[in-house]
Structure 1
Amino acid sequence: MDVSPLSLVLIALVLAAWVAGAALVILRASAGKKRAKALKTSVRRMQTLLDVAPAVPLLVRVDGRIEAPDRLARLLGFKTVPNYLSELAAVEGDPQSGGFAPDQLEQLWGNIQTTQKSAAPFRMALNPPGSGRSLALYGTLADPQVSPAGAALVWVFDFTESHAEMARLRAAAARATGDFAALVGLIEAAPMPMWFRGSDLSLQLVNQAYVDAVGASNAAEVVQGQIELLEPEDGRTPAEIAGDTLQSQEKSERPVAATIHGARRTLRVSDLPLGQEGVAGYAIDIEEQQQVAREFRAFREAQRTLLDQLSVGVAQFDAEERLVFANRPFRRLFSLTDETIAAHTPFERFLAEARERGRTPEVRDFPEWRRERAGWFEARATLEEAWPLPGGTHLRIVAQPLPDGGLVLIAEDRTEQLALSAVRDTLLRTRTATLDSLFEALAIFAPDGSVQLWNRSFAGTWGLTPELLDAHPSADELLGAIGRNLVNPEEVALIGAAVRAATLDRREKGGQVELADGRTLRFAGVPLPDGNGLLTVLDITASQKAEQALRERAEALEEADAVKAKFLANMSYEFRTPLTTIGGYAELLKAGVASDPEAAGEYVDAILSAVERLTEQVENVLDLSQSEAGLLPIRKERLDLLEFLTKLVREREQAIIAAGLSLDLKGRRGRIVDGDPRQLGRALGNLVDNAIAGTPDGGRIIIEIRRAPEGADWGMEISIADNGRGMTSNELSRALGGLAAGKDGTPERRTGLGIPLARQLIEAHDGTLEIASRKGAGTTATIRLP
């Protein structure tokens, strides 16, 4: 078919138009695809931005429906976002269920409704229970392009970390504020002046102590007037000195003299750099410390001057065991020089040098000995030692540890003291031996009345126990013990008065007392030069007895004259009576009166009896005279006393019976003595005759033979006792003198020379005769023979 060119042109145009349209469509489609892809990329980017944004959007419609990303669900603890706001409430009783608490949700819904109605934004913070999160909610009315129906858009911010950080910062700020306030208060209340200089070194802050020190009214006046507390030093102001500290950034301290409250005080000023901000300074008043230091130095100098005047050596070592001081006596004792003191010689070296000079004891292991002495520095108590040095020197060493770790060493030369002590001990022993050797009993009393010293015989003299004196009793205790031994205990006051007079009144006083055992003591209190009192006691019993014996002897001599006269009268009676009888009867016989032989025999018997009596008296006188002259012949032989006395009694049997008496002879055979039968028989016979003559009718005579006990100085004892008339002491004394007075004062023939002769005859046999008699109770004669 034939196609016209026009048709072809039209077809070509149509095809071209169609191709162009298709191309345009394709181009537009391509552009739309690009725009869609860009939009999708933008939406994805926005979604990513929302996911990483610090806030999560929550769209709340008027009916309560909500729209939010899943991130909000995770934030609130849900798996997916619910459809309505009310479904964001947490399950009651299950804090892990997620969501808001009912009251929180109610408050949020109220704020949202207010925003929806009034378009007023709101802000609130909520802490969902159980989540530990802090959420900030910011609500506004949503843009109509977002929601044209008046929905509310709530932005939820999770500020948990920032909230904790803010809480921490607030606490730190509060703490810093409190610390700053306390620091400011402390600086303000500090008793020492304190100040702060800025970087320009001008005063910017001062405390009240600074204000008071410079005499200003307040701190502002000080800062405004730049009033300095300190004075310039070497032409440099305090600010310039602080500038050096600021530049060096090192703390500096210096003592400065300043006038405070009108008084010159010493301050220790410290400048402390505070970076490049300025310099802080404070001043401490050390005037009292300086005063104490000056006083201590003065005291130390005075003490050391005083120690130099002592006779005892004193050295001081510091805590490092170095010698820091030694007085002159110490230097002299250990031969120390000034260089040794100045060199602060260590303690162990000091001991070594002292050993070289022979000023330490000789020891076997000197290093060990030195180490032990070095331990004195660590001791807790005072130590004392005696150092015997070569050459006879004796040192007394006292080590006194000091609280600061040092040591004071005291050395005393006791050589002379020990020598004096030895002399003193010798004197004391001599004094003790001297006192103990005296016959007098001595005791020394202190002024307080206590017994200080006594000799050996003092206790025995007063009848005291040594234990009582060993306790150094008081005068009252001693006098109480003495009083129990006196005849009259009240006389102990005399002894006390003598002690008081010697110790307190310083005068002598004496007295005399009698003890219950019969002794007589004379005492005297004598004051001593040392203030003590001496009580001296002397036993005058023997002298008293001797005096009494002399007195009795004098009385006996006086009586002897009378006895002599009476004796002569008695002897003339004893001799004249037989002679008169002989002469009278002889004259009668011569005159032839007795012409009767029986009467003449009676006259002759009377003459013979008188001759016998006269012969007996002459023999008695001769025997008595020979015995007193020691010329009486004694021919001893062994005699059985029982047989011997039985014979004597048998010879007097008629006389005993005639007197109406009974006689008992008690004893055993075999009691042997050596004696002269004639002389001993005459002695015992005279005593028996006296007993017969002195015992009335119905009386009794007992003769008893006894052996002496062991340890006695005699062998046999013969006792002749009667219950007759007896004699008084005066009558017994006259009887012992050979004379007895009758009722009319004339001599009585009964006794004659019987008792004196019997005494002499017994004493000639080395025996003794004792006669005891009591008026009306009888007489007992006791003969003791060896």
Structure 2
Amino acid sequence: MLSPSLARAEAVQSIVGDFNRVDVAGYALLLGALSAALVSAGWLARQRNRLESESRGLRSELSVSQHKISKYQAFIADKNRRVVIWDGQNSKAELLGQLPSETGAPQNDGDFLAFGRWLTPGSASEVERAIEALRSHASTFDLVVETSRGEVIEVQGRLYGGRAYAVFLALNNLWAELAELKIERNRLRNSIASFESLLDSIEQPVWQRDAEGRLTWVNHAYCEAVEASSPNQAVQEGREILGTLTREKIKATTTPESPFRDTVSTAVRGGRTFFEVVDVRGPAGSCGMAIDVSSAETLREELVRTLKSHAETLDHLATPVAIFDADRHLQFYNQAFVQLWGLETSFLESRPDHAELLDRLRSAHKLPEQLSWKAWKESCLSVYRALETQTDLWHLPNGQTLRVIASAHPQGGVTWMFENLTEQVSLETRYNTLLQVQGETIDHLSEGVAVFGPDGRIQLSNPAFRALWGITEAQAAVGTHIRLLEAACKSSYDKADGWKAFGKMITSFEDERPSSQGTLELYSGLVLDYAVTPLPNAQTMLTFVNMTDSVRAERALKEKNEALRKADELKNDFVQHVSYELRSPLTNIIGFTDLLKTPAIGPLNERQSEYVDHISTSSSLLLTIVNDILDLATVDAGIMQLDYSEIDLSDLLDDVSMQMTDRLQEGGVTLEISAPSQLGHIIADRQRLKQILIKILTNAVNFAPEGTAVKMKCWREGVDFVFSVTDRGRGMEAEMLSSAFDRFSTNPKGGKRSGPGLGLSIVRSFVNLHHGEVSIDSAPGQGTTVNCRIPSASIPQVIAAAE
């Protein structure tokens, strides 16, 4: 450990060291601040001296600038100049200087900027557009404009230091004259440009030539005519629209006082074209225009052809025509005119006067005889002084009737047409006679007839019409409106489908008026069949036929038919019900009969066995009859469905022959089946097809003589199963063949066993259900053959039947 004295000495020494370090740092900072202050003072002194020097220079330059501004203001203040200054796009204009009062420029700043008040309209719009371009797009300009007093002013637009200046200068002496010449030059250029634009837009070729005859300008129509791509090409290549001879003729004949004007022909775009050429000569050359008159030439030629065609047409007309000029001389006549009057061609070709022509016809006794010939002729010739067409009838001595039509021409002259009405008068006479006959015929018809006009008023009616509706002749008079007729017939029939419906159809404005038919039953019990028939000229005919007796007979027949239908339904219901009721006891009888035949019940004597056999046979026959009746009733009701399945025909024939064994033995007949070894299969109802075969074979066995054979022939035609059954019986007569398939139809002669006559009827019903065919060929003494065709059902039919 240190001694206390030594520790105190070290502490004092540490305190002195710390004090020395702090003092030295303070003195250093003080010395740095004093040095910086001295440097800043020196720099400020130098800056002050420099600023004072610059200030003296600026004051000198300001004095010079003010002196220059004074001179510029004095220059601008000249009365021949005014400056408009804009500082920025939206700043207000500043104006300096003035223009002389004789220019018409306003002294007020606002009035001066309204350029339209003191400049001409064209100049004002030009200045406004130029100033707008200057301020918006920095586009400088130099214009020469005109005031409303006729003074010329030059306007210059410039940009200086971001400002827009418009300087208006009043020109004097030569400058003014030069400016006026510039304006006039611009005016002439604009006029020339307007005329060139106008000439360039027209469809007629226009050209301009120099003194040597060379092309200097052409329009677009000229360019198209010579097939040039542009007017410059046409001018440079010297493409001419006119031929050399035509140009030489124009050059030789045209003078400033006498322009060239003529119609020439030239080739344009590969075709011949007619132009009316106008060429004018001036001091510096010539200019011309070609007007296309091809259409006019075509129209002129077409007019000539049309006149010739009209003359040929009139010459082939059956109506006589003669044309006289304003001097009443004959100019044209056709062959019908020559044939009508029988005049010499030489006389007609001499162009005779109309009065002379009439006198010649009168002397030939070809004109109507008149009490005053002079007055009649003067009346005929008065048409030359008339303004309207005149018409007259001439009754010639030869019996002809002519309608004479004289039509005056606006330019003078008259066209005479002679229409032969002889046949028309004859036809009119026969027509009137026919109308009378038709009227008498209609009046004596048993059907009621009435004809109405488009206005709904009656035109004619016959007595039968009035009698059927119980109205008088006055109520159905000609001109009576259908509404009045409706009111008159209201007591007989007053339903909505009656006369109101007739009125709508008769007065309808539809383009196509439909016809209508129907039946009305009047309150009196009469039944009328009506028909509404449109006629020409918008007329309509109503006809009514009394069908009361026919309707009554029809109603009686319908009532009887309904009674028969109900009786047939009752019969079917009865048969079906009785058949079902009989089947149950018959089944019991057959069952007990079979039971009696069995040895287990006990032995039967010979008579009992015979009776039991008769009971069994009769019961089986009765069950067959009941089943047949039930099948027919099912077919009639439309509820029988075929049970389609695939049938092996060979097995089916074997099954049928087995079931026919007892019946064949009973009838003393054999069965011969002729069929291929492989008949194949067919899709049909096995039970019904088996019934068809058994019924046909049973019928054949019944009528076949004992000891004979029933022949059955089977074959296939496509997918159809075809067979025929032939017996050697007595055959059937023609009247029996027609009813062989009818129900309960029996043949009382030749059969071993009589039946109800349902076998063939069931056969036809089952064959029809299979969409097949069955027929009988028979003749007395030649036996009978039944032919049958059963088509194989398709798969969809089988599926439908299964469903």
TM-score normalized with structure 2 length: 0.35
Structure exhibiting the larger radius of gyration computed from Cα positions: 1
TM-score normalized with structure 1 length: 0.35
